Structure 1
Amino acid sequence: MNDVELAAAAARAAADVLLPLRGGDLAGGALGDAGDAAAQRAVAALLAEHRPDDAVLSEEAADDPVRLGADRVWIVDPLDGTKEYRAGDRHDWAVHVALWERRPGPGSGSGAAPGAAPGDAAGDLTAAAVGLPALDEVLTTAPAPVVPPRPAGPLRVAVSRSRPPEVARAVATALGADLVPLGSAGYKVLAVVRSEADAYVHAGGMYQWDSAAPVAVARAAGLWTSRLDGSPLVYNAPDPWLPDLVVCRPELADRVLAAARREA
């Protein structure tokens, strides 16, 4: 398997354990804990089998500092949107599997890794898959998804169901857009890819595993991805915290970023 095929296989392996658990006797926190653990085992087993020399940064495993010197790091969220997964009747949760690769240094040949963001001197995301188990879908960086045409009507901004940030409200007001509350961060990014929303604006922080795979898929699909100030999203940083995020149709990027800056 190449790296994208492995990412997709890992996302499907997680789905294969998450869906039966969701249909079983567990509920609430017990279901969420069981799902997190089972999906982590499924993804970790495939990565260990097929890429034993690669480092891994996962929400459900201890952060091994060896990743900071590694050339290849898998960034994984085996169950993104545990609250929605536990709800039973929601589909807006996901499985994230992304590969970060170090960019060759001066004199080593090939320049930036595919999809690399300007300004990131270390490396960037080169392969990814996002599974949507409740919809029986896996979206990957290759082949990249085709973003459907935007439907008629007001623009739509995806936001957190539980705590929509004020900057997202400001962006929606500036665009004359409707807010679309959704669950997991990964699903909100893919809502833009799937044309269920036109932008996703987040502030208040998340972790690198919350967005690495969906951002890679969004980039491959031709969408704009950045921090709220327009700077690049940097992955495999020493601190896994990522303060904010914008994903949108490229033709909206200037307006979204301008509104975000005014709010800031």
Structure 2
Amino acid sequence: MPEHELALLTEAARTAGEIALRWWRKPVQVWDKPGGAGPVSAADLAVNAALAQMLRGARPDYGWLSEESADSAGRLAAPRSFIIDPIDGTRSFLAGQDGFAHSLAVTEAGRVIAAVVFLPARGALYAATAGGPALKNGLPISAAANRPLAGAEVLTTAASSDPALWHDDQPPLWRRAFRPAIAWRLCLVAEGRFDAMLSLRPTWEWDSAAGSLIAERAGATVTDRTGAALGFNRPHPQACGLIAAPPALHAEIMGRLRPEDQPGAPAASNTPSNSTDDR
């Protein structure tokens, strides 16, 4: 039952938060991942190890996909899989800011069936199951009412305002904001704090899995940058961008966004969206 999975994810997320807060705003060993994939710290690895022990111990037959674990093709044959980002927003965590999150999801047949995003420094726990409501700290949340893109509050980076990305070379007249963790951005759309979130870079599944279900259950449409539905636990766990917004606003974004293969449109960066802090 998805509710049983949600209870396990919630307990694990709170444990992760306790561990992360012991390291937060304290000296911690940090190094860069290969290929410009961003920083990782001893705190990331400590949280990852605790989650692996707790979750895999409880569900030994499930697959495992985590940003901080070596990948294994064995997860592809598992009936269900965990998709985990131990600390989403590592740069924020290392800077002593409170915008980092733990992102935990369970997938079945390529779809997320239970999800938790927990921001321990802010005391915010978002959760959802397939078929159930989106919740924040146990209370239902919902995406904002549809509004036109002009004047909408959108979580995205400065790169998304490149005129070449938009039809007629006219970037949207939106109000742009930034938050460090992709999972948190999705949850902020889910609770109606922002109208939409947009990332045009390749996006790892561990960044989007939990937050995408929460946003969907709150009434948002969530797709990749081509408008295709997201799939999870794939051999290459990366999507072609990420867009989340109420249905009419999502349709407007898709209608204005120039396809990648259209003449004049810049190619998407090969740098994953979680490896840059381009605001």
Instruction: Please point out which of 122, 142, 150 is paired with 1:147.
Output: 142
Aligned in 2, Cα 1:186/1:222: closer, same or farther, shift over 3 Å? same
Q: Deviations over 1:206-228 (max 9, x none)?
A: 21111111111111212110112
Q: Which amino acid aligns with 1:49?
A: G
TM-score (norm 2): 0.77
Map residues 46-125 of structure 1 onto 2, 5 A cutoff.
Answer: 46-88=54-96, 90-102=97-109, 123-125=110-112
Is 1:167–1:260's contact at 8 Å kept on the other side of the alignment? no
**What is the alpha-carbon distance in structure 1 between the residues aligned to residue 214 and residue 247 of structure 2?**
14
**What is the alpha-carbon distance in structure 2 between the residues aligned to residue 217 and residue 151 of structure 1?**
18
Aligned in 2, Cα 1:174/1:134: closer, same or farther, shift over 3 Å? same
How many pairs align? 241
**What is the alpha-carbon distance in structure 2 between the residues aligned to residue 170 and residue 38 of structure 1?**
42
Percent of matched pairs sharing the same residue:
29
Instruction: Please point out which of 244, 249, 256 is paired with 2:253.
Output: 256
- Match of residue 24 from structure 1: 26
Is 1:207–1:241's contact at 8 Å kept on the other side of the alignment? yes
Give the deviation of 1:5 after TM superposition: 1.0
Give the deviation of 1:24 after TM superposition: 2.7
Q: Which amino acid aligns with 1:198?
A: D
Q: Which amino acid aligns with 2:238?
A: W
- Match of residue 166 from structure 1: 162
Compute the RMSD of aligned alpha carbons: 2.7
- Match of residue 131 from structure 1: 118
Matched, 1:207 2:204: yes
Is 2:143–2:219's contact at 8 Å kept on the other side of the alignment? no
Structure 2 residue matching 1:74: 3-state secondary structure = strand
Q: Deviations over 1:132-155 (max 9, x none)?
A: 112111111045231265699931
**What is the alpha-carbon distance in structure 2 between the residues aligned to residue 248 and residue 9 of structure 1?**
29
- Match of residue 275 from structure 2: none
Q: Which amino acid aligns with 2:80?
A: R
Give the deviation of 1:36 after TM superposition: 0.7
Q: Which amino acid aligns with 2:253?
A: V
Is 2:146–2:246's contact at 8 Å kept on the other side of the alignment? no
TM-score (norm 1): 0.82
| Structure whose residues are more often helix by fraction | 1
Q: Which amino acid aligns with 2:47?
A: A
Is 1:168–1:201's contact at 8 Å kept on the other side of the alignment? no
**What is the alpha-carbon distance in structure 1 between the residues aligned to residue 108 and residue 164 of structure 2?**
31
Map residues 227-242 of structure 1 onto 2, 5 A cutoff.
Answer: 227-242=224-239
**What is the alpha-carbon distance in structure 1 between the residues aligned to residue 200 and residue 125 of structure 2?**
27
**What is the alpha-carbon distance in structure 2 between the residues aligned to residue 186 and residue 157 of structure 1?**
15
Map residues 172-191 of structure 1 onto 2, 5 A cutoff.
Answer: 175-191=172-188
Aligned in 2, Cα 1:32/1:65: closer, same or farther, shift over 3 Å? closer
- Match of residue 37 from structure 1: 45
Q: Which amino acid aligns with 1:227?
A: D
Q: Which amino acid aligns with 1:147?
A: S
**Consecutive unaligned residues in structure 1, runs of 5 or more:** 103-122
Q: Deviations over 1:112-151 (max 9, x none)?
A: xxxxxxxxxxx31111111111211111104523126569
Give the deviation of 1:202 after TM superposition: 0.8
**What is the alpha-carbon distance in structure 2 between the residues aligned to residue 199 and residue 168 of structure 1?**
20
Q: Which amino acid aligns with 1:81?
A: G
